[in-house]
Amino acid sequence: MPEIAALEALEILDSRGQPTLQVEVTLTDGVHAVAGVPAGASTGQNEAAELRDDEPDRYDGRGVLAAVGSVRRQIKDLLKGRKLNRLEDVLEADRLVEELDGTDNLARLGANATVGVSMALARAVAATWGMPLWQVLLEEQSRDRARIPVPHFNVVNGGAHAENDLDFQEFMIAPVGSPSFAEALRAGAEVYTSLRRQLHERGMPTGLGDEGGFAVQMDRVEDVLTLIVTAIETAGYRAGHDGVAIALDPAANGFRTSEGYTVAGENYTSGEMVSWYEALARRFPVWSIEDGLAEDDGAGWQELTTRLGESVQIVGDDIFVTDAARVQQAVIDRIANACLLKPNQAGNLRRTLDAVAACNSVGYAQMVSHRSGETTDSFVADLAVGIGCGQIKCGAPARGERLAKYNRLLEIEHHSRLPYGLRDADVRR
Ligand code: PGA
Ligand code: ZN
């Protein structure tokens, strides 16, 4: 039975040029597995806490040498010699690391350290068995649940991810009607190219935001949506719930004010925001809205869910922070009908899979997500396939750190022949 022989970490850079961790594990059977840790820029208040060095002269105080130290010393001392043969062993290691940390948000060892260890261990199990990672992640579930997710390509960036005047953070296109992932990726890339051409023809800059989408010089949401629909149609696709649909992540924490919300210079109450979303979903093929309201606006979330939840997927990101207990409470409060899943928001795989189980037990849809700061690690692609949630977002269909995930999904589809698409229960018409 293989055991953990060594755990190592080093400080590397992410796609924004900010420090993050690479974690490496070696097993007694010779297996060596590596994981790269992502980092967010528009984070929920209750996310598991990254450990960043308090050294202003180094990387503006954003170094991760202390988190590297957590892996090399405390976590290695705890886990060295433990058997690692299946997913349960990874989840048990996660539990022990949580215990060692002792805080709720993993602030002492650093969630950037703990999630990296968890990802590397899962990958080592896959390598030991010579199995694809997604198959290890579905070990406890039935094989018929696994599926290739619908990619949500973030083609226009605003908010905390771009230096423009656009307040909504993410405008995504989702080829829900494509027959396969390969065709969905093709649709995403063709629409992305068509969008660049539209901008070029209008004499507008085609610079990019953090997730590879265009940082358009526009501030009106309707103008951006009109442009995207034109790009979809010009590329030869149908803009709609049976073709290429649109998903929004306004990330409303970013434009929350003491009275309500301010978008493109206009003030809105939460009720007015909900009416606006209702109008947008009528006029444009918007099938999913994530963080349409701020995480402190529970009453607004209830109204949004009551008024739009039947026809639109309402996704909680900052409000749920990939936490099972928050999802269970949301069902009681009638907030949202879907949950975004970010392993580094939870701090490890154990808590991420707990959130998945909570969603499945209450019938909430799930979308697996990258972060705006990424490495070329493709863990989230395998995660989405393994849990079979049918939805993923990894940024634009461009730039290496985003393509690492999409190309991994292409590879999984090619070798596995798993079905592509949304789960039946999540389809909107
Ligand atoms: P982040 O944003 O990775 O910068 O936190 C992503 C999101 O809000 O979904
Ligand atoms: Zn979000």
The residue length of the chain stands at 429
Cβ(113) to ligand 1 under 6 A? no
Pairing of strands 313-316, 286-290: parallel
> Tokens standing for 150?
């619908």
CA of 227 from ligand 1 middle (Å) equals 23
Alpha carbon distance 254, 251 (integer Å): 6
Average pLDDT of the residues in 296-316: 98
pTM reported for the whole predicted model: 0.98
Q: What is the rounded CA–CA span in Å between residue 250 and residue 156? A: 11
| Residues 6+ positions from 195 with CB-CB distance below 8 Å | 155, 156, 214, 227, 228, 231
- What are the tokens at 83? 């058997």
Helix, strand, or coil here: 129?
helix
**pLDDT tens profile 185-202:** 999 999 999 999 999 999
d(CA 398, CA 117) in angstroms, rounded, equals: 28
CA–CA separation, 416 and 345 (whole Å):
29
What residues contact residue 348 under an 8 Å CB cut-off, 6+ apart? 94, 97, 98, 106, 111, 114, 115, 117, 118
11 is catalytic: no
Q: Which pLDDT belongs to residue 141?
A: 58
Mutational test site, ligand 1, from 154, 367, 372, max ligand atoms within 8 Å of CB: 372
- Using pLDDT thresholds of 50, 70 and 90, give the confidence band for residue 47: very high
Categorize the per-residue pLDDT at 17 as very low, low, confident or very high, splitting at 50, 70 and 90.
very high
CA 220-222-224 angle, 5° bins: 75
Q: How far is CA 307 from CA 134, 168, 249, in A?
A: 36, 21, 18
Q: Are 346 and 105 in contact (CB under 8 A)?
A: no
pLDDT value at position 142? Answer: 66
Question: Which pLDDT does position 404 carry in this prediction?
Answer: 98
Closest CA to 253 of 61, 43, 64: 43
Residues of 370-393 as b/e, b for ≥16 C-beta within 10 angstroms? bbbbbbebbbbbbbbbbbbbbbbb
* Residue to substitute in 14, 371, 394 for testing ligand 1 pocket (most ligand atoms within 8 angstroms of CB): 371
Hey, what amino acid is at 339? C
* Residue 429 burial (CB count, 10 A): 7
> Does residue 3 have a pLDDT over 80?
yes
Q: Please give the biggest Cα pair distance in the chain.
A: 62
Residue 41 Cβ < 6 Å to ligand 1: yes
Residue 233 has pLDDT above 90, yes or no: yes
Query: Which listed residue (24, 98, 211, 295) is catalytic?
Result: 211
Mean pLDDT across 246-271: 98
Per-residue model confidence (pLDDT) at position 231: 98
* Residue 300 tokens, joined: 């607004």
User: Within a 13 Å sphere around the CA of 319, how many CA atoms are in the beta-carbon half?
Assistant: 31
Residues whose Cβ atom is located within 5 A of ion ligand 2: 249, 291, 317
Which ligand sits nearest to residue 160's alpha carbon?
Answer: 1
Is 55 a residue of the active site?
no
Tell me if 270 CB under 6 Å of ligand 1: no
Q: Is the per-residue pLDDT at 116 higher than 70?
A: yes
Beta carbons within 8 Å of 235's beta carbon, 6+ residues apart: 187, 190, 191, 193, 194
Q: What's the gap in Å between 209 CA and the centre of ligand 2?
A: 15
Ligand nearest to the CA of 44: 1
251 CA from centroid of ligand 2 (Å): 5
Q: How far is the CA of 238 from the CAs of 94, 180, 285, 422, in angstroms?
A: 45, 16, 10, 18
- Cα angle for residues 353, 358, 359 (degrees, 5° grid): 95
Distance, in Å, from the CA atom of 124 to the CA atom of 130, rounded to the nearest integer, reads: 10
Give the Cα separation of 290 and 171 in Å (integer): 10
89 touches ligand 1 (CB under 6 Å): no
Q: Mean pLDDT for the chain?
A: 97
Each residue of 129-177: pLDDT tens digit?
Answer: 999 999 999 856 566 789 999 999 999 999 999 999 999 999 999 999 9
| Cα–Cα dist 18/290, whole Å | 26
Give residue 327 CA to ligand 1 midpoint distance, Å: 19
Q: What does the pLDDT average to over 365-389? A: 98
pLDDT at 140: 62
How do residues 364-374 score in pLDDT, each as one tens digit? 999 999 999 99
Question: Which one of the ligands is nearest to 154 CA?
Answer: 1
- The CA distance from 178 to 185, in Å, is 9
- Give the pLDDT mean for 57-69: 98
The rounded Å distance from CA 161 to ligand 1 centre is 8
DSSP output for 189-237: HHHHHHHHHHHHHTT----B-TTSSB--S---HHHHHHHHHHHHHHTT-
Q: Which residues contact 173 (CB under 8 A, 6 or more apart)?
A: 152, 153, 155, 187, 188, 191, 228, 232, 244, 245, 246, 247
pLDDT value at 429 more than 80: no
Terminal-residue alpha carbon distance, the chain: 50
102: CA distance to ligand 2 center in Å? Answer: 28
Over 80: is that where the pLDDT of 285 sits?
yes
Q: Residue 145: what pLDDT?
A: 87
Residue nearest to atom 1 of ligand 1 (CA): 40
C-beta 147 within 6 A of ligand 1: no
In this model, does residue 61 exceed pLDDT 90? yes
- State whether residue 277 is helix, strand or coil: helix
Residues 6+ positions from 92 with CB-CB distance below 8 Å: none
Selecting among 342, 374, 401, 413, the annotated active-site residue is 342
